[in-house]
Amino acid sequence: MVQAVLFEIEDNVAVLTIKSPPVNALSHAVRSGIVDGLDRALGDDDVKAVVLIGGGRTFPAGADIREFGHPVQDPWLPEVCNRLEMASKPVVAAVHGTALGGGFEVVLAAHYRIADKDARFGLPEVTLGILPGAGGTQRAPRLAGAKFALDMMLTGRPVPVTAPGAKVFFDAVVDGDLRKEAVAFAQNLISEGKGPRRTRDQRIGFEDPHAYQNEVTNRYRMVARQQEYAPEQIIRCVEAAALLPFDQGLAFERSSFQDCLETSQSAALRHAFFAERRAGKFPELKTGQARELNTIGVIGAGGLAASVAVICLQEGWHVVAATTTVRAAEHAASEISKLLGGAVMRKHMTQTEADEALARFTTASDLVALSEADMILDCTIRPPSAKRDVFTQLDAIAKEGAVLVDAGAHSKVNLLAQATGAPGDVVALHLYAPLRVSKVAEIVLGGNTSEDTVATVISFLRKLDKFPVRAKNEQIGPRILAAYRLAADYIVEAGGTPYLVDQAMRGFGMNLGPYQALDYEGFEASLSAQGSACRASHQPDFVGRLQAAGRNGARSGKGFYLYEGKPASVQQDPEVIELIRAYREENGIDPRGFSEDAIRYRCLAAMANEGARLLREGVARRPSDIDTVMIHAFGFPRWQGGPMKAADNAGLLHMKVELERFAREEPKFWTPDRIFDHLAKNGKVFDDLNTQ
Ligand code: 3H9
């Protein structure tokens, strides 16, 4: 069996190298290996100091998240940290890669710390709905003060070791062979007769708990995500670090950690973490080979085309932006240079990088200019027949092996593939706005899309730092969104108000309610997409009434809300309630009331039911892929795990029964997909379908 921790002795220094790829997570084997190595070093009179270092690409990136929810196997990480800290010989942690979570807690427990200049460290537990549970909440403030420690713990963001304020954690930041430097550092300690220096013995960086409470706690109570449990517990643990002796602080942290771990929020956030990584495991990657990408072609003169061109330029590719008229080409060029200028202003790139990007960029008023592109993204939205014509033209122009991508959405990828002589090279891509920020992209495969094409698009997205999600023939996100909105419309039609629906869904954790979102998108664009995406025999059309009354969304000054003044104040509008009331009256609808809980349940059930249909139709491969899309593309609360995870939590049998009840109102839309029945009868949940 391969040892998880290698023990070697180099001139009176024991070197413990953690070898547990890919990220050296602190699994049971690693924890045992550290403790065994430490005991061996402490029991050997020839060993005078210990170095702890990560093998491969990184120092441990945290506790092994896969072990959470299972019985703890000793030694538990807090104990490992305590053993390191209490060691009678000096322990040096040597950090490279990303020392995160429990990994950084091990670093904090070591007596001395050195780091490679490119290393980063952090306490990202909050992103998993937990808190640093191996002494991090007690040791980090002792070294860096409460503010810096809280910044790390509440944002979860990794910090470069060279960042301002980071040097309090490290005795040295080195450029070169880290192991050699660490051993030399340890030998220096030996020759200078320096012994252990324990973090527990340091005073916390603030003296007055009241000043701390006012200045720090309140500030973070403001910014901590209001509906999440862990941030508040982190604040309490740091308060404990200020007020209690170290061991009592540790005990307080231990029980708070356990509380957090047992919440459904933490289970959902851990689900979201693995869902994102699982989504990228496409079957096509087993044999598919990514083709080399040097030049990217972009078709279109609109906002999407310009944004795609800019992110590709920022990644270092050559970009040819092609349109079909000289005017459009000029417009595209000016939009792209404006966006690059904006990126410089916002410090996303330097002026030199922007100049270099422009030097890699050409525009053309003829698609022929795309003949050298390795991948061509058509970012235009046009009727299917016109799209097909474009792909037929591209087939004649593009070089052999070029990947042809419909990034303008709404077209069936198979129809486009049939319009070319190389259907294997054709694929669709759904990129979500805002392009620079959104982390997810759907790769929509046709029946003939080749494995190499898929591998090429995945490598393209990875370079853009996006999670690829696999969809077949159709996109996932727009279908779920349409179901959500239709459920909301049925509620409003039956008697709820758009304001109550928005409030209920914000209470569920959505950034915006569905009607606020509709206002910001503008009615015309959203409604054309929604109409084509959802199956139902009856679509409420009160939005049409609003449009007829001159309301078209936020940009027109009024939609469901009124947007008045500068900056616009957003207000509810009695005229909207009246328009909807009149609509109900004309349609003979007797209004009834909905509680916020009932609204949330219907909206969630509609999304999960549409998700079930997507799974059965083979559009989505796994429930967790749907969750990843909804979290990243539509602001579904991450701590609810996505609609499929949230449906599991709500109970599938109950949801099936409720869907059947709703189906009496609108059978085509609400009838539960048979997957509900199948799962409920077999005592299973959607999560059981999340195969690798
Ligand atoms: C913690 O430490 C609690 C303690 O305070 C208290 C305990 C008592 N565990 O992301 P990647 C897997 S909580 C298990 O694709 P990258 C990941 O699933 C933890 N597995 O690579 C993937 O597996 P697969 C606090 C883990 O280079 C593979 O490693 N730490 C863990 O893009 C590669 O991952 C964190 O929250 C883990 N901790 O990014 C850090 N981490 O190949 C979580 C990764 O089967 N990790 N895996 O799909 C990360 O942020 C990123 O993985 C990292 C590398 C930045 C390290």
pLDDT tens, residue by residue, 90-106: 999 999 999 999 999 99
Residue 486 has pLDDT above 60, yes or no: yes
Which candidate, 295, 167, 272, 155, places its Cα nearest to that of 220? 155
Which candidate, 654, 640, 639, places its Cα nearest to that of 685? 654
606-625: pLDDT as tens digits: 999 999 999 999 999 999 99
Ligand 1: atom nearest CA of 123 is: 25
Ligand 1 lined by 133 (C-beta under 6 Å):
yes
Domain with CATH 3.90.226.10 in the chain: 5-261
Domain with CATH 1.10.1040.50 in the chain: 479-619+651-689
CB 629 within 8 A of CB 252: no
pLDDT at 45: 96
Residue 537 has pLDDT above 80, yes or no: no
Chain-centre distance of CA 576, in angstroms? 36
pLDDT at 220: 66
- Calpha distance 509→268 (Å, rounded): 13
Put residue 430 in one of left, alpha, beta given phi > 0 → left and psi -120 to 50 → alpha.
Answer: beta
pLDDT at 119: 98
The secondary structure of 76-101 as a DSSP string is PHHHHHHHHHH-SS-EEEEE-SEEET
Ligand 1 lined by 125 (C-beta under 6 Å):
yes
Residue 564 has pLDDT above 80, yes or no: yes
Ligand 1: atom nearest CA of 76 is: 8
pLDDT at 237: 93
Measured from the Cβ of residue 468, the count of other Cβ atoms closer than 10 Å reads 24
Mean model confidence pLDDT for the chain: 92
Residue 326 has pLDDT above 90, yes or no: no
Residue 333 pLDDT class (50, 70, 90 cuts): confident
pLDDT at 242: 86
- Calpha distance 166→175 (Å, rounded): 16
Residue 543 has pLDDT above 60, yes or no: yes
Determine the residue type at 24.
Answer: N
**Residue nearest to ligand 1 atom 17, measured at CA:** 277
589-600: pLDDT as tens digits: 999 999 999 999
Mutate which of 18, 28, 65 for ligand 1? The one with the most ligand atoms within 8 Å of its CB, which is 65
**SS3 label, residue 431:** strand
**Residue nearest to ligand 1 atom 48, measured at CA:** 277
376-399: pLDDT as tens digits: 999 998 888 899 999 999 999 999
For the annotated catalytic residues, the residue numbers are 105, 125
Which residues share a beta bridge with 278? Answer: none
Pairing, β 5-10 against β 13-18:
antiparallel
Residue 337 pLDDT class (50, 70, 90 cuts): confident
Residue 346 has pLDDT above 60, yes or no: yes
**Those residues with Cβ within 8 angstroms of residue 226's Cβ, 6 or more apart along the chain or in another chain:** none
Residue 211 has pLDDT above 90, yes or no: no
User: Rounded to 10 degrees, what is the CA torsion of 347, 351, 357, 363?
Assistant: 100
Ligand 1: atom nearest CA of 156 is: 36
**Residue nearest to ligand 1 atom 5, measured at CA:** 132
Per-residue pLDDT, averaged over 502-506, amounts to 96
pLDDT at 303: 86
**SS3 label, residue 601:** helix
- Output the CA 7–ligand 1 centroid distance in Å: 24
Per-residue pLDDT, averaged over 482-487, amounts to 95
Residue 107 pLDDT class (50, 70, 90 cuts): very high
CATH no., domain 5-261: 3.90.226.10
Ligand 1 lined by 91 (C-beta under 6 Å):
no
Residue 544 has pLDDT above 70, yes or no: yes
**Residue nearest to ligand 1 atom 47, measured at CA:** 23
Ligand 1 lined by 483 (C-beta under 6 Å):
no
Which residues share a beta bridge with 570? Answer: 563
**SS3 label, residue 57:** coil
Residue 458 has pLDDT above 70, yes or no: yes
- Output the CA 100–ligand 1 centroid distance in Å: 9
CATH superfamily, with its number, for domain 283-474? NAD(P)-binding Rossmann-like Domain (3.40.50.720)
Ligand 1: atom nearest CA of 78 is: 8
The secondary structure of 328-385 as a DSSP string is HHHHHHHHHHHHHHHHHHTTSS-HHHHHHHHHTEEEESSGGGGGG-SEEEE-----HH
pLDDT at 209: 55
Give 479-619+651-689's CATH code, choosing from 3.40.50.720, 1.10.1040.50, 1.10.150.20, 1.10.20.140: 1.10.1040.50
- Output the CA 479–ligand 1 centroid distance in Å: 31
Residue 424 has pLDDT above 70, yes or no: yes
Residue 534 has pLDDT above 80, yes or no: no
pLDDT at 419: 93
**Residue nearest to ligand 1 atom 15, measured at CA:** 277
Per-residue pLDDT, averaged over 58-80, amounts to 95
- Output the CA 666–ligand 1 centroid distance in Å: 44
**Residue nearest to ligand 1 atom 28, measured at CA:** 22
Ligand 1 lined by 101 (C-beta under 6 Å):
yes
What does the block give as tokens for 623? 């429930």
pLDDT at 208: 57
Per-residue pLDDT, averaged over 74-82, amounts to 97
Ligand 1: atom nearest CA of 62 is: 2
pLDDT at 335: 86
pLDDT at 223: 58
What does the block give as tokens for 480? 């779920």
Ligand 1 lined by 666 (C-beta under 6 Å):
no
pLDDT at 213: 61
Residue 159 DSSP label: E
- Output the CA 66–ligand 1 centroid distance in Å: 9
Q: Which residue has the tokens 């304020």?
A: 165
